[in-house]
Structure 1
Amino acid sequence: MSDYIIGLTGGVASGKSALEYAFAQLGVGIADADRIAREIVEPGQPALAEVVARFGEAVLGADGRLDRAALRRRIFDHPADKAALERILHPRIRRELHERCRAAPGPYAIATIPLLAEGGGRANYPWLDRILVVDTPVEMQAARLVQRDGIDAALAEKMIAAQATRGQRLAIADDIVVNDGHLEHLQAAAAHLDTQYRALSRATTHSTVGAT
């Protein structure tokens, strides 16, 4: 069971998945908010029923599964709808993230939370011991989005602008990994931080034991 939890975050197309994979290769337990967000709206899940009750059958596909594109179009330019969706999903996601991290083997676990800054940071995730931010220049993010998703530059810029700013993410960071586009750099950063986090988790455990 992991008593030490790292929150991993970064902007869209910043390299979070690559850094997450580097930690997983080192045997670190990972809980990913995006994966959980998909799982909790599978057919039969209470969250899906609440989403349909709020937004209507139009957000379902012919197969009864959530039509993410339709829902995204619905909320993208409507803050009230976006807030309503977050009230349904976010508490469930936070609870499941915490439970999975606590259940993970090893001295520490990582909770990958793309919208950590937007979601209230430490105020809503008080169980995070440290926050790790993957930092990428906005221009590089936009170029990756265009290449990865096959979209135009205008849409890429709009997607980036819809998230927290680079400065807002860096303001909540305890640790920062600059992603310059080289996988070897991310792997080396993960190995260095893994050593640091294992030491911190041991120190925290010893401190807790000593206080009992």
Structure 2
Amino acid sequence: MMPTKFVVGLTGGIASGKTTVANLFAEYGIQLVDADIIARVVVEKGSKGLAAITEHFGSAILLADGQLDRAALRSKVFNDEQQRLWLNNLLHPMIRQTMLEQVNASTSAYVIMVVPLLFENQLDNLVSTTLVVDISPELQVSRTMKRDGVSQQQVEHILASQMSRQQRIDKADHVIDNQGDINLLRSQVARLHQLFLQQAAELSNKPND
């Protein structure tokens, strides 16, 4: 099931400001489909995802109230490639399916799909165009340390596991520079919003094959 709507795949490295940019598009009435939110929904208490995880890893990965203990699950898969692959193979199709359902149920002129690992997980094949929020690695490190209260070493470890800044930019159809102030960001979003409206209108006027 491919989306029939114009979908913008919004991505960027850690602490690049994806949420800020997505929310600026939302101010224009554009609906957001957020992979991180959906990833939490598919393992909520009572979900098929959580039932499968519990059956596989045992009830030790549950909190006292029956919710998923994320820290316990992380420790199970952190250094075990096989278990990590098992978990990804379970959750990725569920997340993908829910994202597509939300896109197809949306009513705005186009949709912003916010996916941190858009290129890494080959989810760019679900979107009409790609938009990368770009900042320097130095800013990523300082913003993440401040936001998450983690060490520089931990942030650099995360950065090393993600696609490089240059690789991401090379793959992007559009790039937003988030190294300036909010007004610079707003003007870039305003310009892209007009472009996406135009492209969405062109897509909806195309005859179906």
Q: TM-score range by the shorter chain?
A: over 0.9
Contact 1:42 1:65 in 2 (8 A): yes
Tell me what 1:167 maps to: 166
Contact 1:2 1:106 in 2 (8 A): no
**1:181 Cα deviation after fit:** 4.7
SS in structure 1 opposite 2:46? Answer: coil
Q: Which runs of 5+ in 2 are unaligned?
A: none
Distance apart, 1:57 and its partner CA: 1.9
User: How far did 1:77 drift?
Assistant: 2.7
What residue is the counterpart of 1:150 in the other structure?
Answer: 149
Q: Give the paired residue count.
A: 207
The DSSP-based 3-state class of the residue aligned with 1:30 is strand
Structure 2 matches for 1:188-203, cutoff 5 A? 188-203=187-202
1:63 aligns to what? Answer: 65
2:121 is aligned, of 114, 119, 122, to 119
Task: Describe the superposition over 1:22-63 as per-residue Cα deviations: whole angstroms up to 9, x where unpaired.
Answer: 011111011100001111111110011111222222221111
Deviations 1:49-90 (A, max 9, x none): 111222222221111111112222322232222211111111
**Structure 1 residue 171: Cα displacement:** 2.8
Q: Provide the C-alpha distance between the structure 1 equivalents of 2:150 and 2:76, rounded to a whole number of angstroms.
A: 19
**Aligned mates of 1:107, 1:21 — CA distance in 2:** 16
* 1:94-122 deviation line (CA, Å, top 9, x unaligned): 11111111211122001101111221243
The corresponding residue for 1:33 is: 35
Alignment TM-score, normalising by the size of structure 1: 0.91
Could you tell which deviates more after superposition, 12-21 or 172-181? 172-181
What's the offset of the Cα at 1:127? Answer: 2.9
Q: Work out the CA distance in 1 between the residues paired with 2:150 and 2:134.
A: 22
Query: Does structure 2 conserve the Cα–Cα contact (< 8 Å) formed by 1:11 and 1:160?
Result: yes
Matched-pair identity in %: 36
Matched with 1:81 is 83
Give the AA of the match of 1:59: I
What is residue 46 of structure 2 aligned with on the other side? 44
CA distance in 1, matches of 2:61, 2:170: 36
Supply the distance in 1 between the matched residues of 2:204 and 2:42 (Cα, whole angstroms). 32
Unpaired stretches in structure 1, ≥5 consecutive residues: none
What is the Cα deviation at residue 2 of structure 1? 7.0
CA distance in 1, matches of 2:58, 2:96: 25
What do the CA deviations read for 1:139-185 (whole angstroms, capped 9, x no partner)? 11111110001111111111221222222322321111111052222
